[in-house]
Amino acid sequence: MAAGHYRQIYLGKLHRLWELEEALGALRHTRFRRDRVPHYPIVGPRGHNLDIAVYALTSVGSAALGAARNGFDPGYLTPLPVVLATAAWVTVNERRHSRLMRATEVP
């Protein structure tokens, strides 16, 4: 949840940079926007998608390591609902925040 909070702060600051660059005719940060021409291609996961992947890998990976060392135990599946619920919550919150940011964009 802390990462989501800091990501919202970061996105707000980035939004302000876009506004300033648009007013000044600069392109340093706006070229990373896919809706702008010209733009830099973004390759691979980004933002919370990358955070979720790392979170899931470390959470489920530790259970996989335990299973590899001690054999399978159904108890190793206990983190799975927490990981799925957290990933869903972060994804929904990220979409809601992005929608609100788009609604406040200055034309």
Select, from the ranges 10-14, 15-19, 60-64, the one with the highest average predicted confidence (pLDDT): 60-64
Question: Under DSSP, is residue 58 helix (H, G, I), strand (E, B) or coil?
Answer: helix
d(CA 96, CA 92): 6
Residues 73-103 pLDDT 10s: 998 888 899 999 988 988 888 888 878 877 8
Q: How confident is the model at residue 106 (pLDDT cuts 50, 70, 90)?
A: low
pLDDT, the chain, mean: 82
Question: Which amino acid is residue 57, in one-letter code?
Answer: L
What is the gyration radius of the CA atoms in the chain, in angstroms?
Answer: 19
Q: How confident is the model at residue 1 (pLDDT cuts 50, 70, 90)?
A: low
d(CA 1, CA 16): 23
Instruction: Tell me which residue of 43, 64, 61, 55 sits closest to 89, measured CA to CA.
Output: 55
pTM: 0.63
Instruction: Please give the pLDDT value at position 38.
Output: 75
